[in-house]
């Protein structure tokens, strides 16, 4: 596993973003792990988060694109910090852009924040965690309405690796339904591989009991 992936997993633990226990997802699934990106709360945390996204984007898609689009609301700071990281780390200046939930009719009018999207632009979409496709269904028409653009792909922080609306993973469904390439900084399989029965900061994060609960969860909700 790449070093930046290992560092990112530990970074999520340090920030309280990745937790293990008893949780319920928005879809009503009882889950032994939870990823809450709302716990990235400081400037230094956002700076590092952007750097991890930048590495994942460069590894999967390269840097031949013009716009990094982050859907409102969580995608707004992600697009900003990652565009800064791409400039710092790779010397590539990409534009950041997000949508508003409500169209503004005065001052800086329109539905977009940040850079406009123009004909010929290549766009990468950035989000927090694996989505069931709801956000993408809302986002694609907004981007495509701006002109003749090429949407390169979608990057998320964590691929939960569970079924979406059918038998495939949520990210695989997005690829099939919308013709998009997708990637994640890490998958949950990589998280388990790195943390299982391994001491980190004086504690075993994923012990045998938690590993058993994770395995049972994927037996029920994982991709067949």
Known catalytic residues? 104, 106
What burial class does residue 102 get, using C-beta atoms within 10 Å of its C-beta: 0-12 exposed, 13-18 middle, 19+ buried?
A: exposed
Give Cα 129 to chain centroid, integer Å.
4
DSSP state of 95: E
**Cα–Cα dist 34/94, whole Å:** 31
Residues 6 or more apart in contact with residue 172 via CB below 8 angstroms: 164, 182, 223
With beta carbons less than 8 A apart as the criterion, state whether 37 and 66 touch. no
**Cα–Cα dist 179/192, whole Å:** 29
**Cα–Cα dist 20/13, whole Å:** 10
**Cα–Cα dist 5/49, whole Å:** 12
């Amino acid at each position: 596993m790449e070093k930046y992936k290992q560092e990112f997993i530990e970074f999520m633990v340090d920030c309280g973003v990745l937790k293990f226990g008893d949780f319920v997802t928005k879809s009503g699934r009882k889950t032994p792990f939870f990823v809450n990106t709302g716990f990235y709360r400081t400037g230094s945390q956002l700076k590092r988060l952007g750097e991890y996204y930048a590495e994942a984007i460069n590894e999967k898609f390269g840097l031949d694109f013009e716009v990094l689009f982050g859907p409102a609301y969580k995608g707004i700071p992600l697009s900003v910090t990652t565009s800064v990281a791409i400039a710092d780390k790779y010397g590539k200046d990409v534009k950041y852009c997000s949508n508003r939930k409500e169209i503004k009719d005065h001052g800086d009018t329109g539905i977009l924040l940040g850079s406009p999207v123009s004909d010929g632009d290549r766009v990468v979409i950035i989000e927090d965690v694996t989505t069931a496709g709801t956000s993408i269904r809302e986002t694609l028409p907004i981007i495509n309405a701006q002109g003749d653009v090429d949407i390169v792909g979608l990057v998320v922080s964590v691929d939960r690796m569970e079924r979406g609306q059918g038998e495939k993973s949520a990210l695989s469904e997005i690829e099939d339904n919308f013709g998009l390439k997708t990637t994640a900084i890490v998958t949950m399989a990589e998280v388990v591989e790195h943390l299982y029965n391994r001491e980190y900061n004086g504690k075993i994060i994923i012990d045998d009991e938690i590993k058993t609960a994770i395995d049972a969860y994927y037996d029920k909700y994982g991709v067949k």
